[in-house]
Amino acid sequence: MTALLLAGTALLSGGCAVANSAGGDAGSTDGRTLRVVLTQEPPTLEPCEASLTSTGVVVRSNITEPLVERDPVSGDLDPLLATGWKQTTPRTWTFDTRGGVTFQNGEPFTAEDAAFSIERAVNSDLACNVEGYVFGDDDLKVKTSGDNRLTVTTAEPDPILPLRLSFVEIVPRTTDTKAKVRIPIGTGPYAVRDWQPGAAISLNRYDDYWGKAPDFPRARYVWRSDASVRAAMIDKGEAEIAVALDPMEAEKDTTVAYPNNETTALRLDGREAPLDDRRVRRAIDMAVDRDGIIDALLGGLAEPAAQLVPPGVVGHNERIKPTRQDVTGARALVREAKADGVPTGRTITLVARNGMFSGVSETAEALQYQMQRIGLNVKVRMADTATHLQYQLRPLPENVGPIALLMMHGNQAGDTAFTTSQYLLSEGPQSTFGSKDLDRRVAEAGALSGDKRQKAFADLLARQNRTVVQYTHIAHMNGLLGLSRSIRYEPNSATGDELRLSEVGQATAARR
């Protein structure tokens, strides 16, 4: 027994040593540290991977900054490290960069750094995610003149190049070009002080920041994968901000719902019977009870969807209304298809991803039931991220039968071109089929700007619903943020991907 107690004392003292050495946790309230609890640890803070949500939510506009940024509310482009920009020829844009800005290592920011950052993120062999999601296959030509003038030339006319460049975070030209960096240096209001793997990331306010100094001198990120623990940390006063809470927390006065630009939909693989029949695809669209799913399974925190982009995104079509559930009409369409020899009894696999959103498995089961009600044969397969990606991305898996993929698309860029290039083109990376007519319209709309661009994209979204029917749109989602009463912060549609710490202030009166 004595030996046991001695062993216990040794274990406990050793344990406390490890616990304390892990040191980076939410920590105690000191009023000077802004504590944020995320869903997972960022795999990296590499700026060229900032289009990944788990990386971008820490890096973007906190540690590093782009040349321009999109106002998530108005949709306008605001100057950041560029003070102005203009299209000088159809393929050329010129940017004037901001003077008097320094990186967190003390080096001055110049147009050379901007050119270097674009080369590194878009033209290099680093295979950055921002390259894949935002830029096409063509490289950009970048040139500087003097310290503050940058010229970017595209292979084809690109009316939204400044918007695309809002995804390129600017790093100093001394940054590694052969390998991705884990901890970045930027011009943002906060610099990385410490990253304790598995425990916390700590930031310090950058005192020489060119803009308005943020309220909090320090910030600390921790991560808890369980939503109820994240909510409990707000209730207990262990964190000021908690992301991605469950709808069941929505009634609390410490939570705020916000539209997060994510849209859920069923992507129907039109290459395989019975989904190769448009009547069957339309019947599925008519079978879905969007209001029921939103009320019962999504906590009311969503809006019925009729297209892949939510309001506020250039190209969103306000005239398209969500399809009303019509089980009788849907059954008639399936019967008609069956009478014409379509094998409507063939099993359709509804593939969904665990953890895609709160209530995803119940939503998949509800969709299965609603599709079976109209005479289709459906089985559900819940998959992990890697397996779901195999179904989502080209090359699509072969010999797996007809697939209805429950997916969630987030258009954070604010322009439908980023959606159509992926999801609507016949050979789009995340599309199963399409039509030549739609392909042509996507290309034409992409070359337009202003009101013509808005109308062209809105029209082709409506046309998708009429002629192709690859998607059964379900809901435009809302996120739920936990906010301590000690701070004031207004979340917006970009919050899930870009939580700007400099916009968080100490509460002086009622928060909202």
Question: Looking at beta carbons only, is 50 or 337 nearer to another protein?
Answer: 50
Query: Per CB under 8 A, does 225 bind another protein?
Result: yes
Query: Per CB under 8 A, does 443 bind another protein?
Result: no
Pairwise CA distance, residues 16 & 10, whole Å = 10
Quick check: 115 and 143 in contact, CB under 8 A? yes
Burial class of residue 274 (count of CB atoms within 10 Å of its CB; 0-12, 13-18, 19+): buried
C-beta of 430: minimal distance to another protein in Å? 7
β-pairing, 149-153 with 200-205?
unpaired
Write out the binding residues for another protein, residues 120-159 only, by CB under 8 A.
Answer: 125, 127-133, 135-137
Pairwise CA distance, residues 261 & 478, whole Å = 8
| Among the residue ranges 83-91, 192-200, 259-267, 408-416, the one whose residues contact another protein (CB under 8 A) | 192-200
Query: Per CB under 8 A, does 267 bind another protein?
Result: no
Pairwise CA distance, residues 45 & 127, whole Å = 15
Pairwise CA distance, residues 418 & 265, whole Å = 17
Question: Looking at beta carbons only, is 232 or 250 nearer to another protein?
Answer: 232
C-beta of 55: minimal distance to another protein in Å? 11
- Helix, strand and coil content of the chain, in percent to the nearest 5, comes to 30, 25, 45
Question: Looking at beta carbons only, is 6 or 73 nearer to another protein?
Answer: 6
Q: What is the pattern of x (binds another protein, CB under 8 A) and - over residues 423-442?
A: ------xx------------
Quick check: 22 and 195 in contact, CB under 8 A? no
Tell me the H-state helices in 288-345. Answer: 290-297, 327-339
- Beta strand extents in 100-235 (DSSP E only): 141-144, 149-153, 190-196, 200-205, 218-223
Question: Looking at beta carbons only, is 252 or 335 nearer to another protein?
Answer: 252
C-beta of 310: minimal distance to another protein in Å? 21
Question: Looking at beta carbons only, is 166 or 392 nearer to another protein?
Answer: 392
Applying CB under 8 A, what is the total number of residues that bind another protein? 59
Backbone angles phi, psi at 116, to 5 degrees: -60, -45
Write out the binding residues for another protein, residues 364-403 only, by CB under 8 A.
Answer: 384-387, 389-390, 393
Of 376, 380, 400, whose CA–CA distance to 280 is shortest?
376
Write out the binding residues for another protein, residues 35-94 only, by CB under 8 A.
Answer: 43-44
Pairwise CA distance, residues 263 & 261, whole Å = 7
Quick check: 173 and 74 in contact, CB under 8 A? no
Pairwise CA distance, residues 268 & 42, whole Å = 32
Question: Looking at beta carbons only, is 258 or 418 nearer to another protein?
Answer: 418
Question: Looking at beta carbons only, is 22 or 73 nearer to another protein?
Answer: 22
Q: Which of 160, 171, 191, 222 binds another protein (CB under 8 A)?
A: 222
Q: Which two tokens stand for residue 75?
A: 């949709």
C-beta of 281: minimal distance to another protein in Å? 24
Question: Looking at beta carbons only, is 336 or 439 nearer to another protein?
Answer: 439
| Among the residue ranges 75-83, 222-230, 251-259, 338-346, the one whose residues contact another protein (CB under 8 A) | 222-230
C-beta of 135: minimal distance to another protein in Å? 8
Q: Please tell me the number of Cα atoms within 13 Å of 384 on its side-chain side.
A: 1
Quick check: 306 and 473 in contact, CB under 8 A? yes
- Beta strand extents in 210-361 (DSSP E only): 218-223, 241-242, 255-268, 302-304, 347-353
Query: Per CB under 8 A, does 183 bind another protein?
Result: no
Pairwise CA distance, residues 170 & 178, whole Å = 17
C-beta of 395: minimal distance to another protein in Å? 10
* Element housing 410 (H / E): strand 403-410
Query: Per CB under 8 A, does 405 bind another protein?
Result: no
C-beta of 259: minimal distance to another protein in Å? 25
Query: Per CB under 8 A, does 356 bind another protein?
Result: no
C-beta of 80: minimal distance to another protein in Å? 24
Q: Which of 110, 370, 422, 492 binds another protein (CB under 8 A)?
A: 422
| Among the residue ranges 142-150, 179-187, 358-366, 492-500, the one whose residues contact another protein (CB under 8 A) | 179-187
C-beta of 69: minimal distance to another protein in Å? 22
C-beta of 400: minimal distance to another protein in Å? 13
Q: Which spans of this chain sit near another protein (rule: CB under 8 A)?
A: 1, 4, 7-8, 11-12, 14-16, 18-20, 22-27, 43-44, 125, 127-133, 135-137, 179-180, 182, 197-199, 222-226, 228-229, 232-233, 235-236, 238, 384-387, 389-390, 393, 422, 429-430
